[in-house]
Amino acid sequence: MKIIAIIPVKPPGEGKSRLENILGLAERAALSRAMFLRVLKATLDAGVEAIVVSRDTDIRQQAEAEGAWALAEPAGGSLNTALDMARRFLSERGADALLVLPADLPVIDAADVRALALAAWSAPTVVIAPDRLEQGTNALLLAPLDSIAFEFGPGSFERHCDAARVAGITPTVLRRPGLALDLDTPADLETLQQMNKD
């Protein structure tokens, strides 16, 4: 099964606004860029091809320098619209499955990406890795590519599970520490700092 990952990336200067009370703009931008590079490296180290979707030219150039494809995200679109654009791109390249990985997973590693790939041993399948609160979706693997619609946003974990069931697919829920932590809030940052101490 040929799996290609989609990594959507906001321009570093625009991300992590909920951290603005504790981190300055330059710090938030550096954090966003470091997390993106970690997600991309984990994906490529796992032997999974990747496409990076972003409005940021530097991010796209960096992705291509690392060996990934890059797509320019249209201005004013939503995350789900950008993912649909990437899905069409992958369909034209013969992918059997797609894997959406947000660019803000600070402790992801190649083993996490391989675990996602292994969970999709046959199609049709929908594999979902929830966040640590089991509200959002921190990874979504679809085989075939159009198994369900993208439902990213608040409460997306349950919506993706429901969409899979409506499509006649029992969702596979994959819970791993490296996939459960995304970094959006001060509480997430505290959790990361505590993990780094342990």
- Reported as a single tens digit per residue, the pLDDT across 40-70 is 999 999 999 999 999 999 999 999 999 999 9
Whether residue 186 is predicted with pLDDT greater than 70 in this model: the reply is no
Q: Which residue has the tokens 């991309």?
A: 40
Concatenate the DSSP letters of all residues of 23-86 into one string: S-HHHHHHHHHHHHHHHHHHHHHTT-EEEEEES-HHHHHHHHHTT-EEEEPPTT--HHHHHHHH
Give the mean pLDDT of the chain.
90
Q: Which pLDDT does position 196 carry in this prediction?
A: 65
CB atoms within 10 A of CB 158: 15
**Residue 125 DSSP class:** E
Looking at the chain, the whole-number percentage of residues with pLDDT higher than 70 is 89
- Maximum Cα interatomic distance, the chain, rounded to a whole number of Å: 46
Q: Which pLDDT does position 94 carry in this prediction?
A: 86
Q: How far apart, in whole angstroms, are the C-alpha atoms of residue 70 and residue 50?
A: 9
User: 3-class SS at 116?
Assistant: helix
Q: How would residue 87 be classed by pLDDT, with cut points 50, 70 and 90? A: very high
Q: Which of 71-80, 103-112, 147-156, 166-175 has the lowest mean pLDDT?
A: 71-80
Q: How would residue 96 be classed by pLDDT, with cut points 50, 70 and 90? A: very high
Whether residue 108 is predicted with pLDDT greater than 70 in this model: the reply is yes
Q: Which pLDDT does position 12 carry in this prediction?
A: 82
Q: How far is CA 181 from the centre of its chain?
A: 12
For residue 114, the surrounding DSSP H or E stretch is helix 110-119
Tokens of 74: 């249209």
Burial class of residue 133 in the structure, from the number of CB atoms within 10 Å of its CB (0-12 exposed, 13-18 middle, 19+ buried) = exposed
The better pLDDT of the pair 80, 26 is held by 80
Q: How would residue 19 be classed by pLDDT, with cut points 50, 70 and 90? A: low
Q: Which pLDDT does position 131 carry in this prediction?
A: 94
Q: How is domain 3-197 classified at the architecture level of CATH?
A: Alpha-Beta Complex (3.90)
Q: Which pLDDT does position 75 carry in this prediction?
A: 80
Q: Which residue has the tokens 């509480």?
A: 187
- Reported as a single tens digit per residue, the pLDDT across 132-147 is 999 999 999 999 999 9
Q: How far apart, in whole angstroms, are the C-alpha atoms of residue 136 and residue 151?
A: 10
Q: How far apart, in whole angstroms, are the C-alpha atoms of residue 167 and residue 103?
A: 27
Q: How would residue 183 be classed by pLDDT, with cut points 50, 70 and 90? A: confident
